[in-house]
Amino acid sequence: MGPPLRKTPLLGRELMKALRQEARRQLGQFLSALFRPDELIELRFIESWVSGGKKRSRVARAAQWLRREEFLAQHRDITSLARQERANVYFGVCPRPKKGDSQDDHIRTVRCLWCDIDNVDAEGAFQRWNAARVPRPSIVVGSGSGIHGYWLLHRDVRLRKERLLITSMLPCFYRSFDGDHVQNLSRVMRPPETINYKDARNGQQTRPCKLLVCQPDIRYPFDAFSRWIEQSRLEQRQQPMSRIPARRRPEVSERILARTIEAADLVRQLDRSSQDRSRRDFAIVCDLLRLGLTREEIWPLVCDSSKFASNGRTYFDVTIDNAERRLLLDSAPTGHPQAPT
């Protein structure tokens, strides 16, 4: 009888290596379906948690714009950073034309339709899609707290009028199966082979984001979604002219403006003249935070106004970082200021 088998560090290292290789393979399969090798993918790193009954968030690291192979090559470093910072990794669904592009009007190519359904597993998501007579998605991702679906199109949508058509039909599409409310073209989602760190600082268990279905050969003509396009057109014709805003903002903005009169009043102040716009912008963002809005809810509200429109996301991130620090200091007990986290 030979000596007993022993687990060695070498076996552990080989297993970890195999797991990393499989994670990269899965991520590569996913990215290859959505992006061409020369296209840029926007990555964001955001910690999110609940404090005092309100949703909070912070940018853990500045956004990056990487090509497909660069993302794969840096996957291990990205997941390591995310673990250290409890940061959720997000990617822009639509390719970005150049580094720094992060807004709806930057998008030039739409290659798929997408959705996010919260608090549901894959079986529940397919039941909703089947009940709504939605075509089978090409890609399905388990986000750790819900399901993401992607419908690849036969051709890239590049004409502006077609991109606007997608923007207008997505709310109708989402409503048919009770999907999430955010449908703008610069939408960010969780990529597979990352970890969902939502509320991790409060002890919430982390959950993996996994690729469940990837069938890039399943593609659809744009008219496969004509039912929702026609529904959108009908709703627009029925909408009174007095209710159509002069300058449309993303759907998340419309939802919040309708829900919160105070937020609407605050945002309107950004269109007024001011001798010190930076100070005014900072004060408005502080007040929006006090209303309980999150960073990602505030950005689409303000992105078309004041210096947010001219200076973009970087200016916004600096402004809201300072605003969050101010609110933390304001809420700290007298004589014991609380350091920003």
Instruction: Give 177-219 as a DSSP string.
Output: TT--S---TT-EEPPSSEEE-TTGGGTPPPEEEEEEEE-TT-E
Is residue 167 included in any domain, yes or no?
yes
Which tokens in the block code for residue 107?
């998008």
Q: Count CB neighbours of 268 within 10 A.
A: 12
Q: 112 near 225, Cβ under 8 Å?
A: no
What residues pair up with 104 in beta bridges, in sequence order?
none
Asked if residue 251 belongs to a domain, the reply is: yes
Domain boundary among 213, 239, 265: 239
Same domain, residue pair 96 and 206: yes
Residues 228 and 306 in one domain: no
pLDDT in the model for residue 83: 96
CA atoms within 13 A on the CB side of 234: 7
Q: Are residues 152 and 196 in the same domain?
A: yes
Q: Does the residue 1 lie in any domain?
A: no
Q: How far is CA 41 from CA 1, 18, 89, 152, 300, in A?
A: 57, 26, 12, 17, 20
154 and 296 together in one domain = no
Helix (H) or strand (E) holding 151: strand 146-157
Domain boundary among 239, 271, 299: 239
pLDDT, mean of each 10-residue run, the chain (341 residues): 53 80 95 98 95 89 96 96 96 96 92 95 97 97 96 95 88 91 85 96 96 97 92 76 42 45 80 85 91 87 88 89 83 44 33
Residue 260 has a pLDDT of 53
Q: Give the closest residue to 122 by CA, choosing from 103, 137, 101, 100.
A: 137
Evaluate whether residue 310 is within a structural domain.
yes
Same domain, 230 and 253: no
Judge whether 175 lies within some domain: yes
Q: Do residues 215 and 270 share a domain?
A: no
Residue at 152 is within a domain: yes
**Does 55 lie in the same domain as 137?**
yes
Q: Do 172 and 27 belong together in one domain?
A: yes
Looking at residue 245, its pLDDT comes to 44
Question: Do 206 and 300 belong together in one domain?
Answer: no
Domain span at residue 218 reads 18-239
Among 223, 239, 255, the domain boundary falls at 239
How far is it, in rounded angstroms, from Cα 79 to Cα 279?
36
Q: Identify whether 172 is part of a domain.
A: yes
What's the structural domain count of the chain?
2
Q: Is residue 9 part of a domain?
A: no
Q: In terms of domains, do 124 and 183 share one? A: yes
Question: What's 177's domain CATH number?
Answer: 3.30.70.1790
CB 143 within 8 A of CB 255: no
**Same structural domain, 127 and 252:** no
159 lies in the same domain as 274: no
Two tokens, residue 19: 């797991």
